[in-house]
Amino acid sequence: MKLAQCWDDGNVDDIRLIEILRKYQAKASFNLNFDLHAEERRCGWKYRGTKEVFKLAKGELKSVYEGFLVANHTLTHPHLTQIPIEQAAREIREGREKIEQHFGYAVKGFAYPFGEYNPAVQEAVRASGHVYARTVVSVPEIFPSLDPTAFHANCHFLAPDFWEKFEHVKSGNGTFYFWGHSYEIITEDDWKNYEDKIARLSREGEWVNLPDLFV
């Protein structure tokens, strides 16, 4: 079976997460809001009111994500369905362009901020050249996908029924796809649980890059 994962927002915790991915030769894509990365790391907010969430500095993005794919998450993470479509289209288009200029390769993936989208936003995603756009909807099987601009995952990585969903996909030799934010991994036990999860997945399936699923 095939395995895919993606992580949103470009946070400092991605560094530790990537160390685990490299250890098990696991692939992943990382969805970035390019204009939210400053010259230095900065704290944007507190997760659950206690954990400070730091954005990576713009100058370290290339080194942190070396060997992994990056994808577009808009310029500034707005609610795309709550702003004028012209503004939403610019957020999508320029988000892709800036990431491509910075990393030097074509960006094919997109993730909707807050999981929000509508037909007009989907059309803006298509028009700006993305191959797929991930939602936050969970489905038993990710294929067939009726519309790649409404591409659903199997689950969030902290879903209580994560392994049940995995076994369902495995039984059909399909593709298992999950997503999350690295800042959601808080304690040392959380990190151990994530590593154990990646270790087991790596034994039981083959990691793929998301764009390759649409070839």
Phi, psi of 75 (to 5 degrees): -70, -45
Are the C-beta atoms of residues 126 and 110 closer than 8 Å to each other?
Answer: no
- Token pair belonging to 180: 């999350």
Note the pLDDT tens digit of each residue in 124-165.
Answer: 999 999 999 999 999 999 999 989 999 999 999 999 999 999
Confidence of residue 60 (pLDDT cuts 50, 70, 90): very high
Q: Is the pLDDT of residue 74 over 90?
A: yes
The HSE-up count of residue 199 (CA atoms within 13 Å, CB side) is: 7
Binning pLDDT at 50, 70 and 90, where does residue 62 land?
A: very high
Q: What is the pLDDT of residue 89?
A: 98
- 3-state secondary structure at position 70: strand
- In this prediction, residue 215 carries a pLDDT of 80
Domains of the chain listed by start with CATH number: 2-214 (3.20.20.370)
Mean pLDDT for the stretch of residues 195-215: 96
Distance of CA 50 to the CA centre of its chain: 23
Write out the H or E segment, with its range, that includes residue 175: strand 175-180
Q: What are phi and psi of 106, to 5 degrees?
A: -70, 130
- pLDDT score recorded for residue 44: 82
55: confidence class by pLDDT, cuts 50, 70, 90: very high
**In a 10 Å sphere around its CB, with 0-12 CB exposed, 13-18 middle and 19+ buried, how is residue 90 labelled?**
middle
What pLDDT was estimated at residue 1? Answer: 96
Render pLDDT for 31-41 as a digit per residue (tens, 0 to 9). 999 999 999 99
The larger pLDDT score, comparing residue 146 to residue 23, is at 23
Neighbouring C-alpha atoms within 13 Å toward the C-beta of 87: 9
